[in-house]
Copies of this chain bind each other. A is one copy, B any other.
Amino acid sequence: MRPDGREPDRLRPVTIERGFIRSSTGSALIRMGETRVICTASVEEGVPGWLRGRGQGWVTAEYGMLPGSSAQRIPREAARGKIGGRTHEIQRLIGRSLRSVTNLGRLGERTIWIDCDVIEADGGTRTAAITGACVALVDALDAMVATHALERSPMEDLVAAVSVGIVDGEPRLDLSYEEDSKAEVDMNVVMTGGGRYVEIQGTAESGTFSREDLDRLTALGAAGVASLVTIQREVLGRRA
């Protein structure tokens, strides 16, 4: 039995609020259970030095947690003067995930900054960030099409992500913090609207997992991502 009574293959309640930050051309507040993340997409002319002159764009992501987002206060990384290993890893994952569905050539020499800030944390913040940021990115790119900065959107598909894991020997979808902290195996699955994999990261901190476990977890993740993409489409007013 899960702490909130959910079936093993069920997501927590999900809502995505488009345009949560009015001054931003692309933003969303995603909520998955008690986890809430503000996602924004900001466009900047130009690209990082190593990419200059190749006629293509870049999508990069930054991630943070508000100190008060968790019952136990999280020290501010700005105050510590450096970004921790976990944050780096998450930032890189979000960036890669969004680039996988963006045609960087069509974007032109521009950088999209994706910012994902967790305002309340109850597990699955990095996967919620990817799912919410995808909506913000769609809107920011559509706004560029609307102002004729781009001829058509460089987004080639949607992308969403979910966590799965093995808790008390049972494969489960969309772990809460309580479940995550005692999971034997933890896996993040990032997939496109078209059902192809972008990233899969499975980790057994305590113990190990078998080939069969891997198969069950990836199947569970694929189903979860499919549900999230359906929600993204509804929110964006798109057909499948």
Q: Interface on A for B, CB 8 Å cutoff?
A: 21-24, 27, 34, 38, 40-42, 44, 62, 64, 66-71, 73, 76-89, 91-92, 96, 99-100, 113, 115, 117, 119-122, 191-192, 194, 196-211, 213-214, 218, 222
Contact = CB atoms under 8 A, between A and B. Distances in A.
B34 A23 contact: yes
B210 A204 contact: no
Nearest to A41: B68
19 contacts: A22-B34, A23-B121, A40-B68, A42-B67, A44-B73, A62-B76, A66-B115, A66-B117, A77-B78, A78-B87, A86-B92, A89-B92, A100-B204, A117-B117, A196-B210, A197-B208, A197-B213, A198-B204, A200-B201
B21 A69 contact: yes
A194 B204 CA distance: 15
Contacts of A40: 66-68
Closest 7 CB pairs of A and B: A40-B68, A85-B88, A196-B208, A77-B78, A42-B73, A78-B78, A88-B88
Contacts of A71: 23-24
Contacts of A73: 42, 44, 113, 115
A103 to B, nearest CB: 11
Contacts of A117: 66-68, 117, 119
